[in-house]
Structure 1
């Protein structure tokens, strides 16, 4: 009886390790940012929404969120750099995408405020893709801070 129980246990264990039915397995990718709508200048303490336009790889991809990398420009202490990438997800089990749908999209970066008066310029670098040597390509838009009137 113990042998049968052991064999049943092993059979269930091997069956549960079967990879035929993985279900949805999400992977992530980068969408090409094609444009952004920014004001001509920023006012300290004001709140802004920035519309970002992107192009999906195919209709099987879905926009997820934005990824940010922020730092002070190493060549200019008065410039703050914000790199923006559009993140998408897709089912890694789908070998060939046959879905049809809109590939162009727009999402909004909401409620951004610029209160640090140490910077006179904010440089937005929107990731548009990668070059031949896998180097990042950016759409660069610089927005100055409005001078505070006393």
Structure 2
């Protein structure tokens, strides 16, 4: 009897699985930074909000997270967006989105922030570079 129940449960388990994925289809895209609002100096151990603005190309884009590369005291930052595959997307021309990165100051010296602003005509990445000293 136990074998029959186990066999029935196993068959039920496999029959309930579906290979059709009805979830949302999306990809990720890093978007260029338009402008940044940040302090002119930091204090060691403090947390600072850094407001990053970028243009949202269509209604199918939604902020997910930040691309954040840390190399010594240099930080490379750009907003990562979900891009939903949907036929009902509306193109946006001037929708500026502001997102905040909370930055924790963990070392002395200066921090160099490189905010990705897209590629030039030669395919080279362009950055808005801001140096912020750490004061006591």
TM range (shorter): 0.7 to 0.9
Contact persistence 1:30–1:88 (CA under 8 A): yes
Unaligned runs of 5+ in 2: 1-17
Secondary structure at the aligned position of 1:33 is classed as coil
TM-score when normalising by structure 1 = 0.69
Q: Tell me the residue number matched to 1:114.
A: 105
Q: Which residue of 2 aligns with 1:47?
A: 47
Write the distance in 1 (CA, Å) between the matches of 2:48 and 2:107.
Answer: 15
TM-score, length basis structure 2: 0.75
Alignment pair present for 1:37 and 2:29: no
Shift of 1:24: 1.9
1:132 aligns with 2:124: no
Question: What RMSD, in angstroms, separates the aligned Cα atoms of the two structures?
Answer: 2.5
Does structure 2 conserve the Cα–Cα contact (< 8 Å) formed by 1:42 and 1:145? yes
Are residues 61 and 44 of structure 1, via their aligned partners in 2, closer, same or farther at CA, if it must alter by over 3 Å?
same
Assess if the C-alpha contact under 8 Å between 2:55 and 2:94 holds in 1. Answer: no
What are the ranges of 5 or more consecutive residues in structure 1 without an aligned counterpart? 1-15, 73-79
Match in the other structure for 2:60: 60
- Kindly indicate whether residue 81 of structure 2 is the aligned counterpart of residue 88 of structure 1: yes
CA distance in 2, matches of 1:125, 1:50: 13
CA drift at 1:100: 5.5
**SS of match in other structure, 1:127:** strand
- Secondary structure in 2 matching 1:32: coil
Residue in 1 that maps onto 2:96? 104
Distance in 1 (alpha carbons) for counterparts of 2:88 and 2:46:
46
Offset of residue 116 of structure 1: 1.6
**1:107, CA displacement in angstroms?**
0.7
